[in-house]
Structures are given as structure tokens and as C-alpha cells.
Chains A and B, each alone.
Chain A
Amino acid sequence: KAGVTQTPRYLIKTRGQQVTLSCSPISGHRSVSWYQQTPGQGLQFLFEYFSETQRNKGNFPGRFSGRQFSNSRSEMNVSTLELGDSALYLCASSLGGGRTYEQYFGPGTRLTVT
């Protein structure tokens, strides 16, 4: 079974621009979660989508948004980029049900904002 894939792997953007990141979950997984990983803040939860609906949201400004398509693929968008948005963005997929909630992570997209 193919793992979680994320594209692109690396991205360099300028402050004020916007960016869209893509995540393809493991086949059969209906839940996709997004995390921001930075050296200073660790792993921060952005949001989770399940069956095309946002099910949970972390404490990030409205510049961060996402969506999920009918095939469970998900995109994350960040508008009006700031220098502090430079981070590794990780996507994780899960079956989405039950209480164990094992997540499988992709390799991440490294975003650098200059």
C-alpha cells in the first residue's frame, strides 16, 4: 500500500504571497490532518478533515485554510505569507474512526518564506 504523499517537498515563497500544499492519504483513509512543525514550537495541529468536512481546528489565524476532496485528497492554503510561516508542514492520514486514531505521516513540505 502506498504511503502518504505530499507535494511539493520544498517551496520558497516571498512574504505576502500565497501557497497551496497537497496531500494524498493512504488508500481507504478518510481523515487527513495537517500539522506545522517548527524548531521553536514543535508540532502544532492545524486542522483535520474527514469526509470532506473540517472536523477539528487548531489555533491558527484564518490565513490558514484547507479542504478535502471526495477522493480524500486534501489541500492546505496559506494566504498573505509571513516570515514566521516558514516551517515543515506535515500531513497525516487515518481511517478516522474508533478511538485508537493511528496516524500515518507524509514526508512533509518544507516551506521557506523570504
Chain B
Amino acid sequence: GNSVTQMEGPVTLSEEAFLTINCTYTATGYPSLFWYVQYPGEGLQLLLKATKADDKGSNKGFEATYRKETTSFHLEKGSVQVSDSAVYFCGGYDPNAGKSTFGDGTTLTVKP
């Protein structure tokens, strides 16, 4: 079946540090890939997406590139801020299966 594996947390960084959260996927089809962010007490918000190999999704300084050869979609940001503290979920939608699958989430804490 389809699965998404993302880096376990929690991750604690100082402000302006570089962020990488790893995500790999396994799918029978050719999924679209997403990163969502969840702030305390809220639902998930779409952060960025990529629908085919070599696509780069970007938003608010975050980037992720769809690497088909390594089946990865790692999230990166060059300089994190305290306001980036949240839980980040990697997800994939497999059109063949008609389902979305999410990783377990990675909690990021950024300290001033």
C-alpha cells in the first residue's frame, strides 16, 4: 500500500538556522505530494505542493522538490523564525488509489 515516512521529531532550532525535514513516500501510482503545517489548536494548512517529478513547491520561504529517483520530498527553509514553530506533515495523494496518506508529523520548535 501507499505510505509516507517523515523524519521523527521533535526538532529544535535557533532562529535563523537552516531547516530540513525529510520525507519519503511509497506509492503504487504516481502521487502528488504536499506539505501541510498545523499550528496549535488549528487544522492543517497547505504549505506547498508538487505534482510531478522535479517540480519544486515553494511558499513563505519553504521549499521542497519532488525527487522521483529517491522518492523523496524533503522540506527546507534557509532561515527559520520563531513563528515557524508548528507541526509539519508530509502527505501524498495517489490518484490510482484515490486516497491521501500522511506522515506522522514533525514538531518544530524555533527558539529566539
Contact = CB atoms under 8 A, between A and B. Distances in A.
Consensus secondary structure, chain A interface: strand
Say which size band chain A's interface belongs to: 20 to 34
Interface string B25-57: 000000010101000011111100101000000
Contacts of B36: 105
Nearest to B50: A100
Contacts of A101: 32, 93, 95, 100
A42 B104 contact: yes
Most chain A beta-carbon neighbours within 10 Å: one of B46, B93, B100, B101: B100
Interface of B: 32, 34, 36, 41-46, 49, 51, 89, 93, 95, 97-105
10 contacts: A35-B102, A42-B102, A43-B102, A99-B95, A100-B49, A103-B44, A106-B43, A107-B41, A107-B43, A108-B43
